[in-house]
Chain A
């Protein structure tokens, strides 16, 4: 009876769940370094034009091939066309953040919806969705991206499509597992007996109970999505040469590895740091909100 009561009270954005989550987060010790790095990335992405000291595409021949620290107007150096490294890195945050956000968002919506349906419906629906999940989960993403780019041509939207098409499976599998745990609890059974429609049951009673899991998967996948985006743009599958994307910058720097080592070093270092920050934060969030998940992720 208590369980049924609690479940019924758990509305979609019910204040009690939110407060509970916020309380857990407040009580734990915050991982400050990852949070600061994440904030810097977000701020760079939003305010790139204000923060960047130069135009990232500006060709400035007199100041070409400057090493980091050689001229403080260009603190991280310039490339062979005199483009400012720091400005390009700041704009690169924008590219990475945009692609990861949209791709991950699309993947999360599709994956969560399929996971909810799969777990709640069961039987053949479950089988079909889970087989598709298995296939998408294991299929090499870069291979998928190559097929998509061959068919649709290069471009940001196709990189996003390629990432979304493979990332949804992570969500559907975990969410389905959570639904199986929740769906036979008293309050769901009570709702079913009183004749609430399946759509409403999933939306009002099951979804609010898997939001924590969703949040955790989302943060844990940000790092991997950034890595994937970087790999695809490194391979030249997505963005036009000269664009400010971290992966692409490493690819360009590779041709001048010996003469201008900083060109390849810096963007890679930035990717590593950012991904590390998101990984740490994701791990922390998981351990704080739902330590049980540790085994399955």
Chain B
């Protein structure tokens, strides 16, 4: 197990390094940074001076080395549009995204798992119908549209909930729900089918024959085994939360990482772009690694290969 964790850690580090190289070279080889900072009136000397002061006259490999050295100190460079260090912006926005993701994840677990269990236990009941409706809708409705429709109904029409920005707990309701609807759909489907399969197994029949109370059979014997694939899905879906949070942050004007990323793309703010993409990528790589390790812990067969 220790060996597996070690190899997985090394692999994650290399993936991160590859991502950093990809982002760095992509940004620096395709766009001429200086052309954004100078005007046509500038003399070639001024431009050359600027190149030198930014270190752009050095070979690209050296520049990448310096870039790596800097980010290892948490220095992502200066944002042109904000006039502040990119790392400062990052630290300001990251907690907001994490809070939103946590809220969305909590909603997914709280709604998805019980609904999946209930719809498996009481097939063709009201629960089953709600679960089916939610999972069909969640798989098909675009997140940004769900968010906008929620704003229209609960914000503009009923005026029950705030629709933009960050604030008290009520600010989380609509964004967290739009973020998680897609995941709830997956969670309900998976919990339902996993639970149905377990309920059909021999040991559950045996428990019933033995005369164990039905609720104990379901909530203790069946649930434990049905939860294994569900937990894996929960882990993997954290990456999906990241994807969705970009869209949801735009819809709800949420001051998080995703919105920062999009503005840095549209304004070609390279320092911020590198900082946000690398952070998001690192987050994703870390999650994937944790899921793998968790999986190996649950199922020893995964430790090989």
User: Which A residues lie at the B interface, using CB under 8 A?
Assistant: 134-135, 138-143, 146-147, 149-152, 223, 227, 230-231, 234-237, 247, 250-251, 253-254, 257-258, 261, 264-265, 267-268, 271-273, 275-276, 279
Contact (Cβ within 8 A) B148 A231: no
Q: Does B107 have its Cβ within 8 Å of any Cβ on chain A?
A: no
9 cross-chain CB contacts under 8 A:
A138-B284, A140-B243, A143-B243, A143-B246, A257-B152, A271-B140, A271-B141, A272-B145, A275-B141
Complex contact A235–B156 (CB within 8 A): no
B265 touches A138 (CB 8 A): no
**Which chain B positions have C-beta within 8 A of A149?**
265
Are A268 and B250 in contact, CB atoms less than 8 angstroms apart? no
Which one, B25-33, B45-53, B116-124, B167-175, is touching chain A? B25-33
Q: Given A138-B284, A223-B139, do A231 and B27 touch, yes or no (CB 8 Å)? A: no
Contact A231 B144 (CB under 8 A): yes
A250–B148 CB distance below 8 A: yes
Whether a CB of chain A sits under 8 angstroms from the CB of B162 is: no
A237–B264 Cα gap in the complex (Å)?
Answer: 12
Contacts of B22 in A (CB 8 A): 147
Indicate the member of B15, B148, B246 with the most A CB atoms within 10 Å.
B148
Given contacts A146-B261, A147-B26, A279-B139, contact A257 B144 (CB under 8 A): no
A235 to B147, CA, bound (A): 14
On whether A146 and B262 interact (CB within 8 A), knowing A250-B144, A257-B151, the answer reads yes
> What 1/0 mask marks residues of chain B from 183 to 213 whose CB sits below 8 Å from any chain A CB?
0000000000000000000000000000000
B contact residues around A237 at 8 Å (CB):
265
Instruction: Kindly list chain B residues whose C-beta atoms are within 8 Å of the C-beta of A141.
Output: 243
Main secondary structure on A side of the interface with B: helix
- B280 at interface, CB cutoff 8 A: yes
**Does more than half of chain B's interface fall in helix, strand or loop, or is it mixed?**
helix
Which of A247, A257, A268 is in CB contact (< 8 Å) with B156?
A257
Contact B137 A272 (CB under 8 A): yes
Contacts of B23 in A (CB 8 A): 147
Chain B interface residue count: which class?
A: 35 or more
Instruction: Using A138-B284, A227-B140, A231-B142 as known contacts, list a sample of 11 further A-B pairs with CB atoms less than 8 Å apart, ordered by residue number in A.
Output: A140-B242, A142-B243, A143-B242, A151-B26, A250-B144, A253-B148, A268-B149, A272-B141, A272-B145, A275-B142, A276-B139
* Chain A residue at minimum C-beta to C-beta distance from B155: A257
Minimum distance in angstroms from A116 CB to a CB of chain B: 21
Q: Across the interface, do A272 and B262 meet the contact criterion of CB distance under 8 Å? A: no
Residues of A within 8 A of B137 (CB): 272
Instruction: Kindly list chain A residues whose C-beta atoms are within 8 Å of the C-beta of B145.
Output: 250, 264, 267-268, 271-272
Q: Does B255 contact A (CB under 8 A)?
A: no
Q: List chain B residues, Cβ under 8 A from A230.
A: 142, 144
- Provide the bound-state CA to CA distance between A275 and B140, in Å: 5
Which of chain A's residues has its CB closest to B264's CB? Answer: A150
The reply to whether B142 and A264 contact each other, CB–CB distance below 8 Å, is no
Q: Once the chains bind, are A258 and B156 in contact (CB under 8 Å)?
A: yes
**Chain B residue with the shortest CB-CB distance to A261:** B152
In the complex, the 6 A-B pairs of residues with the closest C-beta atoms, listed nearest first: A268-B145, A140-B243, A275-B140, A276-B140, A272-B141, A151-B30
Q: Does B62 contact A (CB under 8 A)?
A: no
Chain B residues with Cβ under 8 A from A267's Cβ? 145
A-chain residues with CB within 8 Å of residue B151 when the two chains form the complex: 257
Are the CB atoms of A138 and B140 closer together than 8 Å?
A: no
